[in-house]
Structures are given as C-alpha cells and as structure tokens.
C-alpha cells in the first residue's frame, strides 16, 4: 500500500517536533534490549557525535583526547525520531537478549539547527544537524543551475548558517560556460557570498576552499556528479571515499554517496559529505521566510505602495522598480518569485 502523503500542516508539526524536542532520557518503550537483565547503565552515559546513519543503526564518534576520536557502532532506541549526521546523542551501554553488550543511542541533544529536505510522499527528512556553513557545490559539467543555488542559499539564510559557493571542474570550461561562471561569480560576490573556483584535476582552488572550511562544521551539498566526494578525497586523501562518474547520456552525475558522512579536517574544521540528488526544495513555512532567504530581495520588503503587494503587476512595487533601476538582479528576483509561486501552489 502506498504511503499517505503528509499535509503541509503535518509536515510543519513534525519539523517543529524534530527541531525543538530534547530527548533527556531513554525511551520507556520495550525493544530488543532487555532492561530486565541489566538495563542501561546511567553512569556510563557518553555524548557522541553521529558521523553516519544507516537505518536502525549508526556510527558515532567519542572524543577520547584533543583531536582524537573513537568510532563506535550504535543501535537506536525506539521512538527517538529522526537522527541526522552531526547530531549530538547520548550513548549508553546495554545488553541485548543474547547477553551481548552494545552501544545504544538513548537521547538526542538539542540542535542548533537542522537542514532538511522533502523525502518520499512529502515526508520531511533530516540531512545534517548543528552545521555552521553550507557549501553549495556546482560545476562546469553538469552546468550550474542558478535556481538550485538560490534555493540552497535561502535555506542557509533561514537556518541560519553561512554559505559558500564552489564552482568545480573549472578545467572543463569552454567559452560559453566560462562566461556563465564569470557572471555567476560577479553576481553572488556582489550580494556578499564567497565564490571559489576549483579543479580537482589541476588541483586549483584547494587552499582557498580549505581555509573556508576551517573552524566550522560545513556540509557539502549539490547535484550528483558535481564532485563533492572528489573534493573530500583531495582534501582528505587518506579517507576511503567512493567517487562516481558522470553519465555521458545526460551529463548528470550518478549517485555515489548514499548517506551523509562526517570527516575531520586539519584546520579544526568538520565537513559532511551529503548524498547528491536531482533537485532540492527548501521546506518553507511562509512567504516571509522565503523573502528572508533572499538577502538582496528582503532589503526592499515593506517598501511597496501596497502592503499586500505580490510583486507581479501592482503599481508602486519597490522590488520591480529596483530591478528596473539595476539595484536588484532580475534573475535573482525571478527565482524569488518562482519559489513563492511554488510555495503558494502547495498551500
């Protein structure tokens, strides 16, 4: 039987519960761990960071000394809700029905933020938690998609988190794509977003990117095939990271990273490599949130002649006038209106 599609109200309620509910104690529900035998030892509770999540089990890390971490495999108590890469969790020792000692995640600590996406049947799926920066990786091939970039930027603004745009595979640029890259670079740098051009083949831009990744937790996002895993491999050559090819038929990438994975950098930074996809739609709660996500657009919010201006056909629209005057980029404004339209149609 097909899963029932969640309503927008249900999606909001689930997202709010996942974001705000703090799990301070173990679930009382019965599961495969026998509390009658030994139960969980509260004195052995440890705080760990989730580095990858695979169904009913996950891998986490515990800091055993400065910049040294122990990787542990954990089972998950029932009814904890969705767990994301980057989550801080409470881990306890417990025995299963066979008497074997295992690590069990019994609680999720409060998050500073949570990046989500729309999953199957409209369900909200967590991507990564407690991130300080979204690194939007695009490439010369497949060609950059400004609307996709703007949707990621809107999510970064609302988390909130910093945002960096990386244009990878610069060595593959021809005259047409070089002009596109130059235009995108000028556009986003003018708005205030760093843009870094990289080539893993020529090993260019790596020092600048490594510096941008230091002293924060960053997640690499973007379409399949843009080179996110290749970037991680170049920065961390000792890690075992699967790298995929680009389809010659479509020019799009093949999925290689299937779950988000967390890695430590030398410069006191953390990167999370996320699975690629064909698209990304931010989960917005209101048009006001969408407006806030476009920091060049929001400076004209509230300046229109009519307070309920839709920014389409009304006279005295401050945003349309800003486009006409060259103070607001037309492409960004159109992408903003497109995202508002998609949100309104879903509502």
| 287-346: in CATH 1.10.10.10 | no
In this structure, are residues 75 and 33 in contact, taking their beta carbons and an 8 Å threshold?
yes
Structure tokens given for 332: 């960004």
- The answer to whether 126 and 84 are in contact (CB under 8 A) is yes
Distance CA 79, CA 340 (A): 35
* pLDDT for residue 122: 73
Please give the model's pTM, rounded to 2 decimal places.
0.82
- Spatial distance between the Cα atoms of 296 and 300, rounded to a whole number of angstroms: 8
Q: What is the pLDDT along the chain (347 residues), one digit of tens a residue?
A: 444 555 656 656 655 554 444 334 333 333 433 333 334 455 579 999 999 988 788 999 999 988 899 999 999 998 898 999 999 999 999 887 778 889 999 999 999 999 998 776 777 888 999 999 999 999 998 889 999 999 999 999 999 999 999 999 999 999 888 999 999 999 999 999 999 999 999 999 999 999 999 999 999 999 989 999 899 999 998 876 544 443 333 344 444 445 889 999 987 899 999 886 656 777 889 999 999 999 999 999 999 999 999 999 999 999 999 999 999 999 999 999 999 999 999 87
By the 10 Å C-beta count (0-12 exposed, 13-18 middle, 19+ buried), 85 is classed as buried
Instruction: Give the other-Cβ count within 10 Å of 20's Cβ.
Output: 9
292 forms beta bridges with none
Residue 102 in contact with residue 76, Cβ under 8 Å?
Answer: no
What does the alpha-carbon distance between residue 94 and residue 73 come to, in Å, rounded to a whole number?
13
So what's the pLDDT on residue 19? Answer: 46
CATH 3.90.79.10 is the classification of domain 8-25+32-108: no
Give dist(CA 220, CA 276) in Å, integer. 9
In this structure, are residues 140 and 169 in contact, taking their beta carbons and an 8 Å threshold?
yes
Residue spans per domain, the chain: 8-25+32-108, 131-273, 287-346
pLDDT value for 34:
35
Q: How far apart are CA 73 and CA 50, in angstroms?
A: 10
Q: How much is the pLDDT for 256?
A: 45
What is the CATH number that goes with domain 131-273?
Answer: 3.40.50.300
Specify the pairing of strand 195-197 against strand 162-168: parallel
Write down the pLDDT at residue 28.
Answer: 37
Report d(CA 205, CA 60) in Å as an integer: 31
- Taking the alpha carbons at both ends of the chain, their separation in whole angstroms is 26
26, 106 contact by CB (below 8 A): yes
């Amino acid at each position: 039987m097909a899963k029932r599609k969640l309503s927008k109200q249900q999606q909001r309620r689930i997202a709010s519960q996942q974001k705000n509910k703090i799990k301070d104690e173990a679930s009382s529900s019965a599961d495969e761990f026998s509390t009658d035998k030994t139960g969980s030892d509260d004195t052995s509770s440890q705080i760990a960071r989730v580095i990858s999540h695979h169904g009913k089990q996950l891998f986490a890390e515990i800091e055993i000394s400065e910049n040294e971490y122990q990787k542990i495999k954990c089972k998950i108590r029932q009814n904890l809700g969705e767990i994301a890469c980057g989550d801080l969790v409470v881990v306890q020792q417990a025995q299963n029905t066979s008497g074997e000692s295992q690590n069990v995640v019994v609680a999720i600590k409060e998050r500073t933020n949570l990046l989500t996406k729309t999953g199957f049947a409209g369900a909200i799926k967590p991507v990564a938690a407690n991130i300080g920066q979204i690194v939007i990786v695009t490439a010369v091939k497949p060609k950059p998609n400004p609307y996709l970039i703007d949707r990621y930027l809107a999510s970064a603004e609302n988390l909130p988190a910093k945002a960096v745009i990386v244009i990878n595979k610069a060595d593959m640029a021809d005259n047409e794509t070089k002009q596109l890259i130059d235009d995108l670079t000028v556009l986003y740098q003018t708005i205030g977003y760093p843009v870094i051009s990289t080539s893993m083949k020529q090993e260019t831009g790596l020092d600048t990117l490594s510096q941008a990744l230091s002293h924060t937790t960053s997640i690499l996002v973007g379409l399949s095939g843009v080179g996110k895993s290749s970037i991680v491999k170049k920065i961390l050559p000792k890690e075992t990271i699967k790298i995929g090819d680009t389809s010659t038929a479509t020019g799009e990438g093949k999925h290689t990273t299937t779950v988000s994975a967390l890695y430590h950098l030398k410069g006191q930074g953390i990167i999370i490599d996320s699975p690629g996809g064909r698209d990304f739609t931010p989960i917005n709660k209101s048009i006001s949130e969408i407006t806030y996500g476009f920091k060049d657009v929001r400076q004209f919010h509230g300046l229109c002649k009519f307070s309920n201006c839709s920014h389409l056909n009304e006279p005295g629209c401050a945003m349309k006038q800003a486009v006409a005057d060259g103070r607001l980029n037309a492409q960004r404004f159109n992408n903003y209106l497109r995202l508002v339209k998609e949100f309104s149609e879903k509502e």
